[in-house]
Amino acid sequence: MNVDKFVCKKYEKMSFKELAKAPVDAIAGVSEGDARLLKEAFNVKTVYDLAKLKYVKWAEAICTLAEGEA
């Protein structure tokens, strides 16, 4: 999978395991300021932390279920 559109340039060569441990601002479009706010609000420090955040999972579930509604 080509992740160069999803992560900042300095993280493009990392494995997925390394990316999961990378700071959340490794994700393209997430600034250092955004990362700081995520840490303050939800203690999110890494890409893994963000992916496992219960609020993210709840939002994904709501959107998935909404797609199936008539």
Q: What are the extents of the domains in the chain?
A: 9-68
- Residue 2: what pLDDT? 79
Q: Is residue 46 helix, strand or coil?
A: strand
Alpha carbons within 13 angstroms on the beta-carbon side of residue 18 total: 8
Q: pLDDT for 9-21, tens place per residue?
A: 999 999 999 999 9
| pTM of the predicted model over 0.85 | yes
Q: pLDDT for 19-49, tens place per residue?
A: 999 999 999 999 999 999 999 999 999 999 9
- Residue 4: what pLDDT? 84
Q: Which residues contact 31 (CB under 8 A, 6 or more apart)?
A: 25
Higher pLDDT, 1 or 48: 48
